[in-house]
A and B are shown apart, each in its own frame.
Chain A
Amino acid sequence: MSPVTDSRKSVLERIRAATAGKAAEGHADIPRNYVRRGDMTVSARHERFVERLREYDAEVVECEPEGLAAAITAVLAASGRHRFVAPPGIPAEWYVDAAWKIEGLECTFDHGLETREIEQAEGVITGCFCGVADSGTIVLHHGPAEGRRVISLLPDWHLCVVHSSQVVETLPEYFDRCQVSGVRDQGPERLPKLVTWISGPSATADIEMTRIKGVHGPRFLHVILVRD
């Protein structure tokens, strides 16, 4: 018997001895009287999301669904950057207009790019799973339209397309969205394996509590909010 397995046994034994006796209330009995669902209107929620993003110095552009491609083109053009990387599953409508209109634009799709190739990119475009208005948070589940974690990490500039219908008010509402709609307790297989919650560009306050934006991770965050 390896020493490691012995420790597993001894640690669990110590824990069991320490927790024997009076059973706890049970997970279902945990009092959840905090706010689960917000009561903002769609437009108020939308506004709050934009406000909170701007507080973090994220650049926010709003558009109608039919104006999305043009909005993407405009933001990419204004960035002055040309080498982009994108997840393989982003909709074609997102980039064909820009590819046509912006001279020298290179968009490489991540079909298993090497890290040093991604390091060469000047920017990344992704979708997202959800936005949380209360904290200005964008949530990535790293599906086909969001991409592997590395591509939204290494480039210095990140454009994220968020649809209004993806935006919830409170964090608990995001967790509700993670469950298959209408079917609770489907089991852990339904829950995301990878999640990145992004609330503004990276920052540090380690030196005299002075907040410095952009340490590692993209220093520039652009959001296009589609009013769908």
Chain B
Amino acid sequence: MSGVTDHPVLDPALAPPFPAAALPVLRNVQLRKNVAHAIDVIQAKRGKLVAEKTDWQELRTAAAAIKDETLANLGGYLEQFEERCTAAGGHVHWAADAAEARRIMLEILREAGANEVIKIKTMTAAEIQLNPFLEAAGVRAYETDLAEIILQLGKGEPSHIVVPALHVNRAQVREIFARTMGLPDLSDDPKGLTEAARNYLRQKFLEVPTAISGANFLVAETGGVAIVESEGNGRMCLTLPRTMITLAGIEKVVPRFQDLEVMLQLLARSATGERMNPYTSLWTGVVPGDGPQNFHVVLLDNGRSSILGRKTERQTLRCIRCAACMNTCPVYRQTGGHAYGSVYPGPIGAILTPQLEQLRHAQSLPFASSLCGACYEVCPVKINIPEILIDLRARVTDQERHTVGKFFDPLYVGLRVANVIFSQAWLFHFAQWAGRIGAKLVTRRDGWIHALPSVGAKWTQTRDLRGLPKQTFHEWWRERKTAGRQVSGSASQRVGDAVGGRETK
């Protein structure tokens, strides 16, 4: 039934490879419908706003340049952020990996005496699998973002980085809320459902003195942290509690406060198809009398520095998590996010996840793309995702091709053989001739092939293949030449006909 309680695995170390993970989703008609509907809505809104923004391309160019400048001098900008944030009364911590980030955050929570924490939606916390870790340590984490509540109460997993519960429809939400909030008479009208969530959370906001957030941007120049949201739960979490912990990947920093004028214009339009999202908040360290007085930032590496050093791949870190790429992706449209086996799905997930795992896991993701390039066109920071996908494919292949498992894999064998065949014209021609003979065995009377073995079976599962013609093009050409056809003579006869556009006789 529901895609919410089926337990997709979003740990790249444990998730099945993409083709296997996608198959059950393809059979989930409800989920495919929900996903298509959601992305069509965002795409339409985005398209309208991008069309009206006459300087859209110039903004993209500036944003890519701002991010590239940041990444090229990342050490310096992070140190500047740390210095300014600390001077403003914040505490900055550095976490080399997920385990360390979790440890640091738990230590801060213990010191604050917290056994409950309210959370603003953050994919980074999901990346480090924070919630189960806190739970095991006796700290209950309450999600406050509507989508995250739906997933937390329904024990589901996010399938999109901006609209994480887009695979869930209203009837499914109603069922979850009615059951877990004790509201048997709840209707499935979105207004009523939202009201239920509002009431459920109000007390939590007012009572829980500790909050955890992510960050959309860290401003090096001022030590400021910016969060972009719609619902107001962010404002609640970053204003009311006493202790606040912000977890941020090291790539979230931008050099200057002014740089936000570019990023904010691009983010809202790309992510939700709005000129500006309802609430964007920026705060700097601790401000006496206003907001949390105990503020910590945890800077997370967790594989990002390994991406930084690679010429082609560095641009992966420009990402501002807008999800425009997955909204436009024709693959994501059919599979939704869970098939990617990561909290980062879609095109960005296909390049980010394997790299964060340093290519030890998620090796199937760079292949989970038809390389159509739609993502690159919409990316507000101009990440050339297809280029990175192809490079990652080369790195994964280099890793695997000499292992026993892959050396004898039919596809790998076929590609090595094909390379030999393409290296000499006579070999190519011989292979075509041999292929023609072999194909006769599988060609039906209608001249088409309906079933192929091995790798080919995945083709003929849903498609026929036209049988090999009796003559290749080059054989036809050779025949034509030896038939003594005078090229120049016949050509001039036809020039007159074609150039004037007159109908031929």
In the complex, how many angstroms separate the beta carbon of B172 from the nearest chain A beta carbon? 10
Closest residue of A by beta carbon distance from B146: A206
Query: Is A31 interfacial (CB-CB < 8 Å)?
Result: yes
Q: In the bound complex, what is the Cα–Cα distance between A53 and B150 (angstroms)?
A: 30
Q: In the bound complex, what is the Cα–Cα distance between A215 and B306 (angstroms)?
A: 40
Cβ-neighbour of A199 out of B250, B260, B275 (below 8 A): B275
B290 touches A150 (CB 8 A): yes
In the complex, how many angstroms separate the beta carbon of B88 from the nearest chain A beta carbon? 7
A residues 36-62 touching B (CB-CB < 8 Å): 52, 56
A194 touches B284 (CB 8 A): yes
B residues 125-184 touching A (CB-CB < 8 Å): 144-147, 150, 163-166, 168-170, 173
**For A74, what are the chain B residues with a Cβ–Cβ distance below 8 Å?**
none
Query: Is B497 interfacial (CB-CB < 8 Å)?
Result: no
Closest residue of B by beta carbon distance from A179: B258
Q: In the bound complex, what is the Cα–Cα distance between A150 and B194 (angstroms)?
A: 22
Query: Is B289 interfacial (CB-CB < 8 Å)?
Result: yes
Q: In the bound complex, what is the Cα–Cα distance between A83 and B83 (angstroms)?
A: 43
Contact status of A215 and B198, CB under 8 A, knowing A175-B257, A202-B231, A208-B190: yes
Cβ-neighbour of B257 out of A25, A56, A116, A178 (below 8 A): A178
Q: In the bound complex, what is the Cα–Cα distance between A175 and B222 (angstroms)?
A: 14
In the complex, how many angstroms separate the beta carbon of B390 from the nearest chain A beta carbon? 22
A11 touches B301 (CB 8 A): yes
Selecting from A65-73, A101-109, A129-137, the interface stretch reads A129-137
Cβ-neighbour of B165 out of A11, A17, A206, A215 (below 8 A): A206
Cβ-neighbour of B71 out of A19, A134, A137, A174 (below 8 A): A19
In the complex, how many angstroms separate the beta carbon of A34 from the nearest chain B beta carbon? 4
Closest residue of B by beta carbon distance from A15: B75
In the complex, how many angstroms separate the beta carbon of A40 from the nearest chain B beta carbon? 13
B75 touches A142 (CB 8 A): no
**For B280, what are the chain A residues with a Cβ–Cβ distance below 8 Å?**
195-197, 199
Binary contact track B459-470/A, C-beta < 8 Å → 1, others 0: 000000000000
**For A137, what are the chain B residues with a Cβ–Cβ distance below 8 Å?**
276
Query: Is B84 interfacial (CB-CB < 8 Å)?
Result: yes
A216 touches B150 (CB 8 A): no
**For A204, what are the chain B residues with a Cβ–Cβ distance below 8 Å?**
146, 194, 230-231
Contact status of A206 and B257, CB under 8 A, knowing A193-B284, A193-B287: no
Binary contact track B194-231/A, C-beta < 8 Å → 1, others 0: 10011001100110000000000000011110000011
- The contact size tier of chain A is 35 or more
In the complex, how many angstroms separate the beta carbon of A23 from the nearest chain B beta carbon? 7
B222 touches A191 (CB 8 A): yes
A175 touches B260 (CB 8 A): yes
Selecting from A2-10, A90-98, A159-167, the interface stretch reads A2-10
Q: In the bound complex, what is the Cα–Cα distance between A19 and B72 (angstroms)?
A: 6
A27 touches B62 (CB 8 A): no
A171 touches B232 (CB 8 A): no
Cβ-neighbour of B170 out of A10, A22, A142, A208 (below 8 A): A208
A residues 115-156 touching B (CB-CB < 8 Å): 115-116, 119, 132, 134-137, 142, 148-150, 153
A202 touches B75 (CB 8 A): no
In the complex, how many angstroms separate the beta carbon of B44 from the nearest chain A beta carbon? 10
Q: In the bound complex, what is the Cα–Cα distance between A200 and B272 (angstroms)?
A: 14
Cβ-neighbour of B276 out of A195, A199, A210 (below 8 A): A199
A115 touches B206 (CB 8 A): yes
Query: Is B100 interfacial (CB-CB < 8 Å)?
Result: yes
In the complex, how many angstroms separate the beta carbon of B334 from the nearest chain A beta carbon? 18
A30 touches B65 (CB 8 A): yes
B239 touches A149 (CB 8 A): yes
B73 touches A19 (CB 8 A): yes
B73 touches A24 (CB 8 A): yes
Query: Is B262 interfacial (CB-CB < 8 Å)?
Result: yes
Q: In the bound complex, what is the Cα–Cα distance between A22 and B42 (angstroms)?
A: 39
Q: In the bound complex, what is the Cα–Cα distance between A207 and B68 (angstroms)?
A: 36
In the complex, how many angstroms separate the beta carbon of A147 from the nearest chain B beta carbon? 9
Q: In the bound complex, what is the Cα–Cα distance between A6 and B147 (angstroms)?
A: 37
**For B264, what are the chain A residues with a Cβ–Cβ distance below 8 Å?**
171, 197
B residues 248-275 touching A (CB-CB < 8 Å): 250, 255-258, 260-262, 264-265, 272, 274-275
Q: In the bound complex, what is the Cα–Cα distance between A188 and B223 (angstroms)?
A: 9
In the complex, how many angstroms separate the beta carbon of A100 from the nearest chain B beta carbon? 31
**For A29, what are the chain B residues with a Cβ–Cβ distance below 8 Å?**
65
**For A31, what are the chain B residues with a Cβ–Cβ distance below 8 Å?**
58, 61-62, 65
Binary contact track B364-406/A, C-beta < 8 Å → 1, others 0: 0000000000000000000000000000000000000000000
Query: Is B350 interfacial (CB-CB < 8 Å)?
Result: no
B283 touches A193 (CB 8 A): yes
Contact status of A209 and B301, CB under 8 A, knowing A4-B104, A24-B69, A193-B284: no
B residues 51-92 touching A (CB-CB < 8 Å): 54-55, 58-59, 61-62, 65-66, 68-69, 71-75, 78-79, 84, 88
B197 touches A215 (CB 8 A): yes
B201 touches A216 (CB 8 A): yes
In the complex, how many angstroms separate the beta carbon of B416 from the nearest chain A beta carbon? 34
In the complex, how many angstroms separate the beta carbon of B171 from the nearest chain A beta carbon? 10
Contact status of A205 and B230, CB under 8 A, knowing A30-B62, A150-B290, A175-B258: yes
Contact status of A136 and B62, CB under 8 A, knowing A188-B84, A207-B190, A216-B198: no
Contact status of A18 and B231, CB under 8 A, knowing A11-B299, A24-B72, A209-B37: no
B274 touches A199 (CB 8 A): yes
Cβ-neighbour of A19 out of B75, B145, B201, B205 (below 8 A): B75
Contact status of A148 and B74, CB under 8 A, knowing A25-B69, A216-B232: no
A8 touches B68 (CB 8 A): no
Query: Is A80 interfacial (CB-CB < 8 Å)?
Result: no
Query: Is B96 interfacial (CB-CB < 8 Å)?
Result: yes
A30 touches B231 (CB 8 A): no
Q: In the bound complex, what is the Cα–Cα distance between A4 and B82 (angstroms)?
A: 14
Query: Is B305 interfacial (CB-CB < 8 Å)?
Result: yes
Closest residue of B by beta carbon distance from A193: B284
Q: In the bound complex, what is the Cα–Cα distance between A197 and B278 (angstroms)?
A: 8
B235 touches A196 (CB 8 A): yes
Query: Is A77 interfacial (CB-CB < 8 Å)?
Result: no
Q: In the bound complex, what is the Cα–Cα distance between A29 and B66 (angstroms)?
A: 10
Q: In the bound complex, what is the Cα–Cα distance between A52 and B202 (angstroms)?
A: 29
A215 touches B233 (CB 8 A): yes
Which among A153, A193, A206, A216 has the greatest number of chain B C-beta atoms within 10 A?
Answer: A206
Q: What are 16 A-B pairs at a CB distance below 8 A?
A: A11-B301, A14-B301, A15-B75, A15-B78, A18-B306, A27-B69, A30-B69, A32-B262, A115-B240, A150-B291, A171-B264, A175-B257, A188-B223, A193-B284, A202-B232, A216-B198
- Give 6 A-B pairs besides A196-B282, A217-B236 with Cβ atoms closer than 8 angstroms: A14-B308, A34-B58, A112-B289, A134-B275, A175-B260, A191-B221
